[in-house]
Amino acid sequence: MKSHFWFAIVWTLFTVLLSGLSGNTVSKMMVVDFFGADKLAHLGVYGILSWLWARSFAMNRSNKIAMCYALIISTFIGVSMEICQKFIFSGRSFEYDDMVANLTGSITALLIFSLVNK
């Protein structure tokens, strides 16, 4: 279904937008301000990103292939956004911990995806 593809595109754009916001704007948006909330946000955003791409690709491919494509896309976006935060986006900083949180969220979502879609 094409709607899965468009949900994935919209969520990808949302993820890129959030990654480009200044640190001050992001801290104002945080509902709960405690250590680790940022990493939980990364887990959630990239988990949803991976799930939506896997769902989109699974319409025409096997679940394993769909999950591989989704992981490649989410990893590429996660690493690219961290590099952009270092060199392009003002008020943001490059963090390896964010990339680990992004990857952890993606893998977790895809593991759940594989269990749900057996």
In Å, the largest CA–CA distance within the chain is 43
CA 79/CA 118 separation, integer angstroms: 30
Confidence of residue 3 (pLDDT cuts 50, 70, 90): confident
User: 14 pLDDT band (50/70/90 cuts)?
Assistant: very high
Does 28 score more than 70 pLDDT?
no
Q: Is the pLDDT of residue 26 over 80?
A: no
Q: How many domains does the chain have?
A: 1
pLDDT value at residue 23: 60
CA distance 96 to 55: 28
Residues 6+ apart with CB under 8 A from 113: 50, 51, 54, 55, 63, 67
Q: Quick check: 31 pLDDT over 60?
A: no
Q: For the segment 45-104, what is each residue's pLDDT rounded down to a tens digit?
A: 999 999 999 999 998 889 999 999 999 999 999 999 999 999 998 888 899 999 999 999
Residue 28 domain boundaries = 2-116
Contacts of 67 (CB under 8 A, 6+ apart): 54, 110, 113, 114
Residues 6+ apart with CB under 8 A from 83: 94
Cα torsion 44, 53, 69, 112: sign: positive
- Record the pTM: 0.87
